[in-house]
Amino acid sequence: MAIDTANWPIAQRVDWRIVWAEMNGWDFNYRILKPWERDPAYYKTLWTERSDVPAHEGSTHHGVVDVWTYQFPLDTESGMKLINELNVIAPLNEQAKLNLTGNAKELWIAGIRDIKTQSEELNTLLEMPGVSAQG
């Protein structure tokens, strides 16, 4: 707020306000919402369907795997890319065991369901053409 924008052109002041609003959102997420502590669904990685919003619904980490973007059967390059993306799941789950300390019952009920669904989707993914061939 200490930045003096009074003499800036309107377009630059609008940009400044947008950045300011985004930073307030991130601050609120970090100080208040804390999804990495309160919401097991934050650790959902696998997305089999396209979201109607670019950043997905609800809180998500930044290493999500959008399976719907892949063409099956997978060629070798796509298969290796998918495997590399999926490799984040195990260490992320280990981190979740340490991070999830918050008490938000409703988030836990829905989040646990989402993680169970992800497990089922991973098994289904193994049956997709070209996936098991990737090792």
Task: Name the token pair of 93.
Answer: 């789950």
Are the beta carbons of 37 and 101 closer than 8 angstroms?
yes
**What pLDDT sits at residue 135?**
55
**What pLDDT sits at residue 133?**
61
Query: How would DSSP label each residue in 60-96?
Result: --S--EEGGGS-SSPPHHHHHHHHHHHTTHHHHHHHH
If you count DSSP H runs as helices and E runs as strands, how many of each does the chain have, helices first? 5, 2
The answer to whether the predicted template modeling score (pTM) of the entire model surpasses 0.75 is yes
**What pLDDT sits at residue 134?**
59
> Which DSSP letter does residue 41 get?
G
pLDDT digits (tens, 9 = 90+) for 83-112: 999 999 999 999 999 999 988 888 989 899
- Domain spans of the chain, in order of start: 35-52+59-134
More confident residue, 28 or 130: 28
Category of 34 on φ-ψ map: left (φ > 0), alpha (ψ -120 to 50) or beta: left
Average pLDDT (13-31) is 94
Mean pLDDT across the chain: 90
**What pLDDT sits at residue 41?**
92
Residue type, 107: L
Are the beta carbons of 47 and 104 closer than 8 angstroms?
no
**What pLDDT sits at residue 96?**
95
pLDDT digits (tens, 9 = 90+) for 33-86: 999 999 999 999 999 988 888 777 778 898 999 999 999 999 989 989 999 999
